[in-house]
Structure formats: C-alpha cells, structure tokens
Chains A and B, each alone.
Chain A
Amino acid sequence: MKEQRVPYRRTFVRLLGFLGPYRWSLAVSVALAVGSGLAAIGLVWVTKDVIDEAIHPRDERMLWIFIGVIVALGTARALLMMGRRFISGRQALGVEFDLRNALYAHLLRLSFRFYDRHQTGQLMSRATVDLQTVRFFLGYGLIFFFQNLLTIVGVTVVTLVLEWRLALVALAFTPFLVVLAYRYSHVSHPILRDVQQKLADVATVAEENIVGVHVVKAFAREEQEQRKFERASESVFGQSVQANRQRAIYVPLLAFVPLLAQGSVLLLGGWMVVNDTLTVGQFFAFNLFVTMLIMPLRMLGMWIGQAQRATASGERIFEVLDAEVDILEQPDAAELPAGPGRIGFEAVEFAYGETPVLAGIDLEVEPGRTVALIGHTGSGKTTVASLVPRFYDVTAGRVSVDGVDVRDVKLASLRREIGIVAQDPFLFSATVRENIAFGAPWATDEDVERVARLAQAHEFVAELPAAYDTMVGERGITLSGGQRQRLAIARALIMNPRILILDDATASVDATTEAKIRQGLREAMRGRTTLIIAHRLSTLALADELVVLDRGRIAARGTHDDLLTTSAVYRQIYEHGLLEREFAERVEATA
C-alpha cells in the first residue's frame, strides 16, 4: 500500500469521528467518571478529617460518622464506576462493531483492480492488527485518558489548596514520571514489534520446513534446516533480550521516581508537622495522594504512545476505507434486459495505470456459440473475459451484453447472468451444498443435485463422509483440484446463466478427470454463450471458434482449419509436436 503521509491531526480527528453516534453515552460516561474521580479524592480528604477531627480530638462519635461517610463514598464510587464501565464498555464495543462493518462493507465493494494490487495478508493485517489498535484506543484509551487526567488535575488542585508549598514539592516528580512512561512506551514499542516480526519469521521457517518436509528429507538437508531455524530463533532471543533490557531499566525507574516524591513528603511534611504548619491528617492525606497519582501518571505517558500508534493504524485503515470504488452503477442503471446472450466488444482498450493490456479488441460472440481465447501467458486472455462481468471497466470502447453496454445496467443483474469458473477455484468453508448454491441460496436440494450431476460432481460428492453436507474449504476436508473444479462448474450452472466463462477449467487435473469434466462442460454449455480461456487442445475442441490473442490484440480468429493456414501464432502453438499427433489420432478414432 502506498505510504502517503496524511496530516497527523486530521487522521486523529477523523478517528474521533467514529465516536459521533455515541456522543450521548460518551457524555454520560464522562459525567460518571467525574463523579467517581471526585469520590476517590473525597475518600482521601475524609481520611484527613478522620485523623484531624476524630482521632486526634479523641471524638468517638465523629469517628463513627466519618466511617459512615467513608463507606458511603466508597459505595458511591463503586456504583459510579460500575455505571461508567457498563456504559463506556457498550460504547466501545459499538465503535468496534461499526468500524469493522464499515471496513468489511468497503472491502466488498472494491474492484479487482484494488485486489490485484493488494495482497490478502496485507489487508488482513489492516483489518485485524490495525483495527485492534484503533478500537482499543477509541474504546478504552480515551476514557481512561480522561479519567487519569481528571485524577491528576483533581489531586493537584486539592493538594494545592491543602498546602501549596508541600504540594509543589510533592508534584515536582509528576512531569518526570509522564516523560519516563512515554519514553518507555516509545522506546520499547518498535523493539516489541520487531520481536513479533522475528517470531513471524520463525513461524515462516518452521512452516516452510514442515510443508516442504518431503524435499528436506529427500535431499537429506536436515542439518542446514536446523541451522536456518536456529538463526531465526536466536534472533528472536537477541531481540527479546533487548526488549527485556529496556524493561529492566524503565520499569524499576517508574517505581523509583514516585518514591522520591513520597520521601520528600515524609521529610518536608514531617518537618511542617513538627513546626505546626501541617496537621497530621494533612500529612496522611499527602502520603495517600502521592500514592494515588502514580498509576494515572504512568498511564498518561503510555497513553501518548498509544494515541500515536492508534493514529498510525488509523491512517492505514483509512487508506483502505478511502480506496476508490471504481466500478460504480449509474444512478439510473436498469436491470439487464432479457436476451439470448450476445457478447460484443467494440474497439475495446484496457490499461493498468500506464501499462496497456488490450488494444482495439473487436469481437462479436453470437448467442449460444463457444469462443476459445488462446495465446501465451500475458497475452490478455483473462482480461478480455473479465471485462464482460465488469470486473474492470474498459479504458476506451465498450463491452455489451445483448446490445446493452455493461456499464449501463445494474451490476447484480449483469453478473447473475454470467457463470464463472476460475482456473483455481476458491471454495468457502461451508458444506458442499452451500458452496454449490453460493449464488442461489434459495436453490432446492434437487437443483443442487441436478447441477452437480451435470458437472460430473455428484458421483464423488456422494462418496464424501456426509455427502452434500460435508464441510469443505480451509476448515473442512481438502478436495483435489479436479473435484474443486467440478464443484465450481456446478456453482456456475445453478445460476442458469446466459453466459459462461471458463478460465481453463481443466488445467490442474489428471487425464481421466479431465475427460469427465469435459463431458460435464459439454452438457453445461448447451444453450449458453461461452468464453473459454484454453491451454489444452482438448479444450479447444469444445469451441466453435478460436480467437488468438497476441500482446493484447486479436492476432487471428477462425476455426482450427482456418487458423492453421492464416495464423503464424496459432501454428506455433499447434505445431507443438504432441498436439498434432493427438489430433490426428482423435480424428481417426471418430472417423
């Protein structure tokens, strides 16, 4: 993802915007936080009074009254805190919920162009790690910040009122603690992040070794692998020790600094008590107030670091949220009208940024016909096919289905009429049935079985542990390439599309399976317009017409016989010795 620096403050303010819908509950939690903060300060204040007004004058009645006040204040503080936690907790979860939904919804709308540029891992890291950082900050960080600030301000004011000279001495340590805590967070964070990165490296080495165990064993490379792993593991150790060293310096220091303040309160406060300028109760109170400040001050320092990281994460999330949705429906887009399934390309050009991919593509595919797109890797076959369901928009020219420009119709109505089988089909972690009915969740069991039979998938599905209810995909059982292919074909067929796009649907299967799939395809293609991206000659045999693409242009088109005489590119492909023989044999066989 491109690093473009957005002004820090703007990102921060934008992040706060997510709190907008929760401003009322935010206001209530702030009020409750103020209340519980005051109660906490009140508790120390009352302690002072207990000493000075009850214990010293030996007034037992007053003692019990004050104890009553302490219990009351303690109860009030607990209740206010409880309320604050319930309300702000709910709000925090709400913000997280909204943010996650917004991100997901946006990801759904981004086009293939976006996904061509961004890897899954990268996007996932934004949607998980960065989102976590932001939600923690917005959900808990802010309110804690406020609460801590409130305690600090409150204690400062109260101690200054009590005895300003002692207060100045006692509070002198506060800036140091904040700075120290901030520095710790600032210094340790990159190291801790690095530790995580190095741990991820260890995981990568381990994964490679274990997934590639056949190769490792076959080449008897266990020793070298061990060394590689140890290097990775040692660098985790080195970095962890580094992190640990920071911890060993900062954490004890963070405990030591407030102790200096307590010491000075003991000394100066004690001296003042001796000189009768401070009461014993106030001496108590100062000791307790200093203790009370330690946590908030440390948190404040860490909070600054947290806010910085959250803003950085926020920037990365906004990069996704701000990514332009480039495939948009026209405001007045209509449903794709009914039709036989004619596909038209008129002077189509397409470029990726500055890189031209397709130029001057003119192609008309008659309803019910099958056209095979052939050419070398990078010749533009897949791009041509991707323009029909409008996964990309043309740079110039137009693509039409049944005479209507694909940009003028509703996306859903267009894509519903196009069945697509990709080269390496993706199945979801769901049952076989759900996968087949992916585009038509309303399909009946009979429909599912019918298309599965058509796609020659029924036979193997029936043998799965739970037949159509077997879980497949990443969290289910692993299917072979050929089996996934056939499910993908069934998935495309259940939509009963006018147009089929097959991206070399038989590339990764063995010969016997391929024969089965081809049989399924022949059934499936009946009555539909089909575009096939082909590598194998046997696939070409399914086509009525062949279109040879070369460097983004149509180099030739026609039947096999035409092309042999007219197209050098095709001849080159065809003359591949093997194919020639096979063709001859098959002609014999059918003759």
Chain B
Amino acid sequence: MRVWQPGSHLSMARGAQVEDWSWKRTLRRVSTLARLTAPYKARTALALGALGAATLTALAPPYLAKLALDEGVRNQDFGLLVLVVVAFVVAGALNLGASSAQTYFTGWTGERILADLRKTLFRHLQRLSLGFFERNRAGVIISRLTNDVDALDQLVTDGVTTLFQSTLILIGSATILFFLDWRLALATLTVTPLMMAGTAAFRVYSARAYRSVRERLGLVTATLAEDIAGIRVVQAFTREPASEENFRGVNSRYRAANHRTVVTNGLYFPFVDFLSSAATAVVLGYGGWLYFHGQVSEGTLLAFLLYLSNFFDPVQQLSQLYNTFLAAVAALDKIMDVLDEEPELRDRPGAVELPRIEGHVRFEGVRFGYGDGPDVLHGIDLDVPAGTTVALVGHTGAGKSTIAKLLARFYDPREGRIAIDGLDLRNVTQESLRRQLGIVPQEGFLFAGTVHDNIAFGTPAATRENVARAAETVGAHEFVERLEDGYDTQLQERGTRLSLGQRQLVAFARALLADPRILVLDEATSSVDIGTERKIETALRRLLADRTAFIIAHRLSTIRDADLIVVLEHGRIVEQGSHAELMARQGLYTSLYGDWAEVA
C-alpha cells in the first residue's frame, strides 16, 4: 500500500546490517528507546497490563472446552456445562476488551514515540551546520527521517507486541499442556525442535532470497523510472528495442530471484502443516494409548488438539520477527549516528548580538579548507567598504562560493578572521548575523506554499502590501498578478510551475523584503528569454542599492556595473579593481572577459 515517492527506489535496495553488537552500543540503543518511552509511562503500563490480560484470556478457551467435555458432558451435568460455556464466552469477551485496549494503547504509544523521534531528529538536523549537509547526500539524510523511522515503526508498533504476546502464549500453552499431562505434553512437543530447526533454516534462506528480490525489484523500478524520465532520449535515438530487451532482462532476473522465494515458501509452509498433522497423530496415538490405561481423559485430548491448532503460529511469528528486529536495530543505529553529530559551529559562550550593521566587510589573511581536505582559500585579504557591490569572478572551483559561505559564517576560517564593522564573526550570534544577511542562491529555491509565503519566507510578519511592494520593485508583481490566485497561488514542489526567470525574481523579492544589510548573491548561469533577462537586470540594480553586496557573477552587465571586481584563481585573489582598471591590466580578467563578451 505504499505511495510511490520520487527517488524512493534509490533507497529500496538496502539490507539490514548491524555491525556493532557490543554491550555498550546495545545499552545505548535501549536507553535511547527508553528515553523516548519515558513520557508515556502510564499508557505503556496500561498497554502491558492489557497485553497480559489478553494473553491469559486467550489461553483459557481450550482448557474450558476440556472442562465442558470432562465435567459437563461426561458427568451428564448440564448445569455445569452451561456454566463452563458461559465462562468460555466470558473469557472471549474479556479477551475482546483486553486486546482492544492493548491494540489501542500500544498503537498510540508507538506512533507517539515515532512522531517524537521524527521531531527530535528534525530539530537536531536544523541545528547542524551546513558542512553536515554538504558532506552527506540529501537523499541519505532524508531517508533517516523517512525510511529509517518507518523501519522502527514496524518494531515499535507490531514487533514488541508480537514478541511479548507470542512468548507469553508459547510459555502459557506449554505450561498448561504440562499441567494437563506431562507425558503427553513431552511427546507432543518433540515436534517443536523440528519446527524450530525448520523455521531457522527457512529464515536464513528466505531472508537471503528476499534481499535479492528487494534489490532486483529496486533495479526494475530504477530502470523504469529512468527510462520514463529519459523516454524522449530513448525515442530520439531509436533505442526502443534495446531498452525493451534490457528491461526484459532486469525483469526476468527479478522473476528468477522471486522464484527462489516461491521454492522456500513452497517447502516451508507445507512442512509446518505436516508437523501439525504429525503432532495430531502423536496426540491421538500416544494420547489414545494413555487413555486406554486411564491416564488421560477425552477432554485432555480435545484440549491438546485445540491448543496445538494455535501453538505453531507464535513460533512462526517469533521467527519472522527476527528480520524486523534486525532492520529496526540497523535503522536505530543510523538515526543515533545523526543524533550524535555535533554542530561544527556554535555560538561562543559570550557571543553578542550583532548590532545593526553598516556593512563594512574585511577578510584578513583568511585560510580555509573543507573538513580535513586541503586548503581551498590561501590567505584572502579583502576590504569592502559599506555599500560596495563586489563581483567575484573566476573559473569554477576558484573559491568564489567558499568566500560567500564564510561571509555567512556557514564555516569558520582555519586561519585569519572575517569581520563586519570591525566585529569578528566568531564573536557574534549566528542568528543575529544571518538576520542582517540576505542570501540568494543560484536556482532561486522555492518551497511548496503560496507565492506570498515564498516571498515572505524570511519575514513572516510581512503584510500583503509589503510583499506586493517588494514584488513590484523587482518587477515580479506583474506576472504574479496574472497567476490564477495571484499571491495566493500554490507553488508546487520546488516551484516547478514558475519559469526559471520568474523563480529568480521571486527569490529577489524575498531578499529585498528581508532588507538585509549585506547581500550575498549567486547569479544564475542559465539563460532565460530576453524579456525576462532585462527584468532581472533591472531588479538586480534595485536590489543592490544601499547595501553591501557580494555577487558570484556570471552576467557581463553585473560584472561591469560592480564597484569592485575580485578575480580569483585557485583560492587566491589574483586581481582586483574596477572594470576599466582590470581591462587596462591585460591579465586573467581580460581573458575571462573575452569569453563573456562572446557569450552575452
């Protein structure tokens, strides 16, 4: 009953591997779960109580059937028979109530724990620094919040109940059987070791088989997803026959893997059935012989047969549980790893609020590298007076975006310092810094929500007029008004309903509304149609007025209009100055400029 999600096939082919079974780790797992359960002690207790009651009442009926036969029917005591049957129905009714309560409370607590876990995990992720998100693929992080929590879901809601209930029923039934007649019980339960051995073997083979089914199904889905996404290429290159053949291959490998599960299931389930016939034969054969010698009653035989009809289910369920359990532990480990991540950047103990800034930015001997990697910036010195528009130019990988990230303090430099209005960034709170900083990423990222929400993303308190004015200023108002619900139009996931240019204008409006003192802008490289292009230029000019701006520039007009052009090469500033100055120098800028001039 899963709903297909984009990218879900990418995480499908994962197996449950638990590496660390040390005591310490296990203890931590248990304490993590216990901490999550702690707020719901009362309900957990209720669930456990109900579970005990449900198990006890579930064990009663076969025994009562024995009583009905031996005491009521055999003694021709009809009154007693009625009494026993009433007890039988009452036991059933109690079971109804108890298992209802148990299902409800376990389910509630389980879901509550998961919701709390998701919340905690998400909150923790919000605290982590950008470095974490750049080191890990987005899909992997998302899967911690989705797939891994789901894997725990199976354990928390079903697994724990099954574990307790099946164990209790097994122990309870066995105890009653021994109480009824220990010899017959011993004889009957001889099939149990066979059952366990068979189940254990089945578990190993079927887990292996299902893993390969999952992997190959993942491949089928991935192939399908990719070929549908790339169907135009397939058709353009007339690759239909080859693609079809390839798909048949993937599909038939999946079928072959699945066939192994047919074989394991086909052997195992009839085997279980055979064992139950064998157990019946033992009960009737040995039990009959005991009956001949007056050792057991008919009622005992009936009770044995009825207990046996429920006896094998718990054994099977318990063995199925093992896989769920492994998957859940593996998921829990991954979640705990994320929770163990510490934000690399924290506010210093004495960090101050950054006062309203003028916008004078200084980089002093800044050296920086990602993680343990080599330096990507080698001694950057840069002095940007308030109100200056700085264009950062250079080849891909020259260090342009790194400078922008350091300015927003997504990272701290390895050496040297960055100061705004003379205050070292490390001495101010991150929140107060970012509130006065506007960042416009390349693709103008939009969130699902209305146009209004998207523009007011950084300033939720903004009125409709404020939003409209900001849109007006950057020239977005016109097209927003033309959308069917104006500012209330719902944008789809990642804003796919708007064109690239429109998305950029919305991102500009968002930055303008936030009215940052310092603006960091990564200019889009994608070209848009010419009308929009001109709008973007105008919008940009308005956005840049009266504030310090760092632009990772790709547009010729932007570069030429900048007050200061900083040319980067291999993490060093090689030239800086105005367009005219740099052109006169005939250096790297002049050659880069040649490229732009041709393109623009």
Is B224 in contact with A208, judged by CB distance below 8 angstroms?
A: no
Whether A208 contacts B493 by the Cβ 8 Å rule is yes
- A511: contacting residue among B234, B259, B554, CB under 8 A: B554
Inter-chain contacts of A128 with B (CB < 8 A): 4, 221, 224
Q: List 24 A-B contacts (CB under 8 A).
A: A71-B278, A74-B274, A74-B276, A74-B278, A77-B274, A107-B228, A115-B231, A202-B118, A206-B142, A209-B126, A218-B437, A224-B460, A225-B126, A237-B111, A252-B99, A262-B61, A288-B305, A377-B499, A422-B233, A426-B233, A428-B230, A511-B600, A512-B592, A512-B595
Residues of chain B within 8 A (CB-CB) of A537 are: 600
- The CA of A267 and the CA of B243, in the complex, are separated in Å by 67
Chain A, residues 77-113, CB within 8 Å of chain B (1/0): the string is: 1110110011001101110110011001101111110
Tell me if B's interface is mostly helix, strand, loop or mixed. Answer: helix
| Chain A contacts for B145, CB-based, 8 A | 202-203, 206
Task: Answer whether A70 and B280 are a contact pair too, CB < 8 Å, given A89-B265, A236-B115.
Answer: yes
Report chain A residues within 8 Å CB of B225. 120, 124
Interface size on A, residues (CB 8 A): 161
Check B598–A240 contact: CB distance below 8 A: no
A475 touches B222 (CB 8 A): yes
A582 CA / B514 CA spacing, docked (Å): 35
CA distance A412 to B72 in the complex (A): 85
Q: Could you tell me the distance in whole angstroms from the C-beta of A430 to the nearest C-beta in chain B? A: 9
Tell whether, in the assembled complex, residue B92 and residue A260 are in contact, meaning their CB atoms are under 8 Å apart.
Answer: yes
Q: Is the pair A78, B270 in contact by a Cβ cutoff of 8 Å?
A: yes
Q: Considering the chains assembled together, what is the distance between the CA atoms of A104 and B227 in angstroms?
A: 9
Please report the C-alpha to C-alpha distance between residue A439 and residue B103 in the assembled complex, in whole angstroms: 58
Q: Is B309 in contact with A438, judged by CB distance below 8 angstroms?
A: no
The tally of residues in B whose CB lies under 8 Å from a CB in A reads 154
B289 pairs with A71, CB closer than 8 A: no
Q: Which 10 A-B pairs have the closest CB atoms?
A: A74-B277, A244-B107, A89-B262, A218-B439, A439-B237, A219-B458, A85-B266, A259-B92, A78-B274, A248-B103
Contact B277 A70 (CB under 8 A): yes
Cβ of B511 to closest chain A Cβ, rounded Å: 9
CB distance from B431 to the nearest CB of A (A): 5
The answer, yes or no, to whether A138 is at the interface (CB within 8 Å) is no
Which residues, 98 to 143 on B, are CB-close (under 8 Å) to A? 99-101, 103-104, 107-108, 111-112, 114-115, 118-119, 122-123, 125-127, 130, 133, 138, 141-142
Instruction: Please tell me if the beta carbons of A219 and B92 are within 8 angstroms of each other in the complex.
Output: no
Is the Cβ of B118 less than 8 Å from the Cβ of A287?
no
Give the nearest-CB partner of B531 in chain A. A376
Chain A residues whose CB sits within 8 angstroms of the CB of B584 once the complex forms: none
CA distance A49 to B556 in the complex (A): 98
Q: Is A38 at the interface (CB under 8 A from chain B)?
A: no
- 0/1 per residue, B254-283, Cβ < 8 Å to A? 010011001101110111011011101100
Interchain CB contact under 8 A, B259 and A207: no
* Complex CA–CA separation, A214 to B263 (angstroms): 51
Q: Cα distance A514–B78 when bound, in Å?
A: 98
Q: Does A55 count as interface, using CB distance less than 8 angstroms?
A: yes
Which of B82, B231, B278, B298 interacts with A51 by CB under 8 Å?
B298
Q: How far, in angstroms, from A120 to B5 measured CA to CA in the complex? A: 11
**A210 close to chain B: CB less than 8 A:** yes
Chain B residues contacting A224 (CB-CB under 8 Å) are 460
Query: Known contacts A266-B88, A511-B595; is A578 also within 8 Å of B556 by CB?
Result: yes
Residues of A within 8 A of B133 (CB): 210, 213
Q: Could you list 12 further interchain pairs (A-B, Cβ under 8 angstroms) beyond the known A245-B104, A252-B100, A255-B99?
A: A55-B288, A82-B270, A104-B244, A210-B125, A218-B441, A233-B119, A248-B104, A270-B81, A271-B78, A411-B238, A428-B226, A582-B600
Q: Is the CB of B262 within 8 A of A90?
A: yes
Are A429 and B280 in touch, CB under 8 angstroms? Answer: no
Closest CB-CB distance, A520 to chain B, in whole Å? Answer: 14
Tell me the complex Cα distance, A58–B510, Å: 93
A432–B190 Cα gap in the complex (Å)?
A: 61
Q: Give the distance in Å from the alpha carbon of A111 to the alpha carbon of B236 in the complex.
A: 11
Given contacts A93-B258, A582-B597, contact A82 B527 (CB under 8 A): no
B457 to chain A, nearest CB (A): 6
Give the shortest distance, in Å, between A546 (CB) and chain B (any CB): 14
A359-395 interface bits toward B, Cβ cutoff 8 Å, 1 = contact, 0 = none: 0000000000000000011000000000001010000
Contact with B along A45-80 (1 / 0, CB 8 A): 001001100110010100110110011011101110
Asked if A199 and B150 make an inter-chain contact with CB atoms under 8 angstroms apart, the answer reads yes
* Contact status A255-B232, CB under 8 Å: no
Please give me the residue from chain B that is nearest to A92 by CB atom.
B262
CB-CB < 8 A to A207: which residues of B?
A: 138, 142
Instruction: Name A93's contact: one of B99, B255, B527 (CB within 8 Å).
Output: B255
Closest chain B residue to A110 by CB distance?
B231
Taking a contact as CB atoms closer than 8 A, the residue among B4, B93, B150, B592 that contacts A121 in the complex is B4
Query: B224 touches which one: A81, A124, A248, A415 (CB < 8 A)?
Result: A124
For B93, what are the chain A residues with a Cβ–Cβ distance below 8 Å? 256
Residues of chain B within 8 A (CB-CB) of A420 are 236
B65 A202 Cβ-Cβ under 8 A: no
Q: How far is the CB of A160 from chain B (nearest CB, A)?
A: 22
Q: A480 at interface (Cβ–Cβ under 8 A)? A: yes
Q: A85-B270, A218-B438 are in contact. Are A291 and B527 (CB under 8 A)?
A: no
CA distance A389 to B292 in the complex (A): 90
Interface string of A453-486 (1 = CB under 8 A from B): 0000000000000000000011100001100000
Residues of A close to B530: CB separation below 8 A: 376, 535, 573, 576
**A220: Cβ under 8 A from any B Cβ:** yes
- Closest chain-B Cβ to A119's Cβ sits at a distance in Å of 10
Q: Is A334 an interface residue (CB 8 A)?
A: no
A122 nearest in chain B by CB position? B4
CB within 8 Å of B: which of A257-302? 259-260, 262-263, 266-267, 270-271, 273-274, 280, 283-284, 287-288, 291
